[in-house]
Structure 1
Amino acid sequence: MEVLQLGDELLRGKAQPVDGVTDGIRALVAEMFETMEQQQGVGLAGPQVGVPLRLFVVKAGDSVRRAFINPTVLEASEETGEYEEGCLSIPGVYHNVVRPRWINVQALAPDGTPFTLRADGLLARVIQHENDHLEGILFVDRVGDEFRDRISALFALRRERRAEKKAQKAAKSARLQAKIAAKQRKAASC
């Protein structure tokens, strides 16, 4: 699966509830785990892979694979902590983010059964980070306007450079195809 990067509109939209836990949803969850692990991440939300549904996967702290479908944070501690976060959708960018130290979250498991989990430490942080994705919020939004704007400008520049390279590659390919076609016409006329 392709992980969308900062600047893609799908990352800023609110995800829609999952209507029912189906084989398709279970397959999506499995593919998201595979993508997250290949990218060496600890969490991945549906919107990050272009699927605007309220679900995410995590594997953090205790290395247990957990999937959260239609999650709801029921309670969060007043006590907060600061920790450096990164994001697969904003590769190479890290910053300290303040979040509640523990949370209680309710969701559906991939087999469709509801569960409630009290999480603390890294697991609580990752769940909060991924849950933010379902609301169209990125960790850079929680750091400050100046940092967010600087990183957004950097990623806009990266998108422009990728688009230019893609256009140059397409033009080069078109020129090559034209040369091949001209040689074929010349050979056919001889």
Structure 2
Amino acid sequence: MAILNLIYYPDSRLRNFSKPVKKIDEKVKKLVSDMFETMYFNEGIGLAAPQVGINLEIITINLKKKKEIILINPKIIDQSSDSSYIEEGCLSIPDQRARIKRNNFIKIEALNILGKKVKFSAKSLLSICIQHEIDHLKGKLFIDYLSEFKKKRIKKKMLKLNKFNTIKK
């Protein structure tokens, strides 16, 4: 396993659309393993492949050191109309948080690491984490839900962090 380099906002690679995984081979399995290692090292609960420079539809999640969840080519197939605001952060935008409106309940369809199609429901924090990570696969960041003023302020802070190399790598 290896710790991969995270890509930090405002790097334009975070805006790329990811491609579906066509074949789950040893290379994909190693990437998933490395993504978990990177996520744990950076104290995250979710990571999408674009955050480590790989434009494939792969997400790793582990909430509070429970069960590891691997979602390959994930799709939200249903969602509740009720939503709530939660304070979100992102490994690619360190030390920045904002209250974001997300659906409380979703149904997901994806492939697991064995290439088998899985469907399941998610609620609360798991639902929010999955929605956040699927956004990454579409080149969308949590700050895109904010006002232009707030986005500009965060971008300015991130540029300053990048300039002085204070982001842990």
TM-score when normalising by structure 1? 0.82
Percent identical pairs in the alignment equals 33
**Is 1:95 paired with 2:103?**
no
Question: Aligned-residue CA RMSD in angstroms?
Answer: 1.2
Match of 2:35 in 1: 32
Higher Rg? 1
Equivalent residue for 1:21, pick from 1, 16, 24: 24
Displacement of 1:161 in angstroms is: 3.4
In structure 1, C-alpha distance between the alignment counterparts of 2:144 and 2:97, rounded to whole Å: 12
Matched residue count: 162
Q: Deviations over 1:92-133 (max 9, x none)?
A: 011111000010010000111110110000000000000000
Matches within 5 A, 1:84-123: 84-123=87-126
Task: Looking at secondary structure, tell me which structure has more strand per residue.
Answer: 2
Match of 1:158 in 2: 161
What secondary structure sits across from 2:118 in the alignment? strand
Equivalent residue for 1:4, pick from 2, 7, 22: 7
Match of 2:46 in 1: 43
**Is 1:72 paired with 2:61?**
no
In structure 1, C-alpha distance between the alignment counterparts of 2:119 and 2:158, rounded to whole Å: 37
Match of 1:58 in 2: 61
Q: Structure 1: where are the runs of 5+ without partners?
A: 163-190
In structure 2, C-alpha distance between the alignment counterparts of 1:75 and 1:61, rounded to whole Å: 25
Match of 1:186 in 2: none
Displacement of 1:144 in angstroms is: 2.1
What secondary structure sits across from 2:95 in the alignment? coil
Which consecutive segments of 4 or more residues in structure 1 shift more than 6 A?
A: none
| Aligned partner letter, 1:126 | C
Q: Structure 2: where are the runs of 5+ without partners?
A: none
Task: Looking at secondary structure, tell me which structure has more helix per residue.
Answer: 1
What secondary structure sits across from 1:91 in the alignment? strand
In structure 1, C-alpha distance between the alignment counterparts of 2:148 and 2:119, rounded to whole Å: 34
| Aligned partner letter, 2:30 | A
| Aligned partner letter, 1:35 | T
Displacement of 1:70 in angstroms is: 0.5
